[in-house]
Amino acid sequence: MRIYLLFLLIGILSSVTTTECNAQSESTTGPKKGSLVIAGGGKLEESIIKRFIELAGGTDAPIVIIPTALGAKSYDENYGGTKAFRDAGATNITVLHTDDRTEANSEDFVQPLREAKAVWFGGGRQWRLVDSYKDTKAEELFWQVLEKGGVIGGSSAGATIQGSYLARGDTKNNQIMMGDHEEGFNFIKNIAIDQHVLARNRQFDMFDILKNRPGLLGVSIDEGTAMVVQKNQFEVLGDSYVIVYDGSFWSREGSDLKTLPPNDKLFYFLREGDQYDLKKRKVISK
C-alpha cells in the first residue's frame, strides 16, 4: 500500500512539474537585454525613428540597415530606406544585404554588425530574411547587438521577423498566414506578429494562426505605429493602434455591459502610451 501511495505521489508531482514546464515553455517573453522597435509598416512616424535612434545611443551610433526583404539583387548606400533615418539625424549608417547564406556566414560580411549599436530590417517579404540569415553568423550577431544593450527594429516584414512564429511566411503570396516558412528570429518568444493591420483590414487574419497555435500571443500592428519592447513589456508609439489577441478583453470603460464573442474570437486595441506585460499577458494599469 505504501509503495502504491509513493508511486501515486511521484506521478502527481511529475504531472505538476510537466504542467509547470509546459506553462513556462508557453510564456511570451522579450529579450533579456536591449530593446526592440516593431513597426507596422507604411510611412514611419518621426517619433518612431527618433526613439530607435535614441535607443541606439544617439545620432552618431553605428546603425546597420538590412533591406533584404524587399527582394532586389543589390543595394548601395543611397538605398531609399535610409532617408528617414538620415532626415532624423543619423550619421553613421551601413546598408548590409546578401541573398547568399555562405556570405552571411563570412567574417567580412558580418564585420559591420560587430560594431553596430542598432539593426533595422526593412519591409518586403519576411521569408527572404529567413532564407538569407536564419541560423547564420549574421543572426548570431543580431543577438549580440541586443546582448550589448543595443536595439533591433523593423517595419512590416521587419516587424514580423522579430517574432517566434512567422506570420505570412509563405513564398507564394502574403495572404497565407501559415505558410512554408514558419519560424522568425525569435527576439520575442511565443508570439506571432502581423502588420498593416487596420490599413488593410487584416484584423481577423490572426485567428488563422491562433486556431492552430492557441498557445501563441497574437499581436497585430497598424501602419504608422510601433511597439517598443524592453524585457517583457512593450509600449505603444505612433498615431494608430496595436491589436492584442490574448484570449481576453480590455477596455478603458470596462466590459461588464458589453456583449462579447467567445474568448477565441476576442481582441482589443491599444493606443499610444498604453503598456502591456508580455509574460503576464495583461495591460499594465497606470
Which amino acid does the sequence have at 13?
L
Where does 31-283 sit in CATH, by number? 3.40.50.880
Question: 53-83: per-residue pLDDT in tens?
Answer: 999 999 999 999 999 999 999 999 889 999 9
At residue 10, the pLDDT reads 42
Region 227-234: mean pLDDT is 98
Model confidence at 141: pLDDT above 60: yes
CB atoms within 10 A of CB 63: 27
CB atoms within 10 A of CB 84: 18
At residue 26, the pLDDT reads 80
Q: Are 79 and 95 in contact (CB under 8 A)?
A: yes
Give pTM, 2 decimals: 0.90
Residue positions counted in the chain? 286
Question: 259-277: per-residue pLDDT in tens?
Answer: 999 999 999 999 999 999 9
Region 98-103: mean pLDDT is 98
Question: 15-63: per-residue pLDDT in tens?
Answer: 444 333 333 448 999 999 999 999 999 999 999 999 999 999 999 999 9
Nearest by Cα to 195 from 249, 184, 280: 184
CA atoms of 75 and 54, how far apart (whole Å) = 26
CA atoms of 227 and 245, how far apart (whole Å) = 15
At residue 20, the pLDDT reads 38
Nearest by Cα to 150 from 108, 98, 107, 115: 115
Average pLDDT, the chain: 92
Q: Determine what percent of the chain is predicted with pLDDT higher than 70.
A: 91
Residue 128, C-alpha cell as written in the block? 527572404
CA atoms of 163 and 186, how far apart (whole Å) = 5
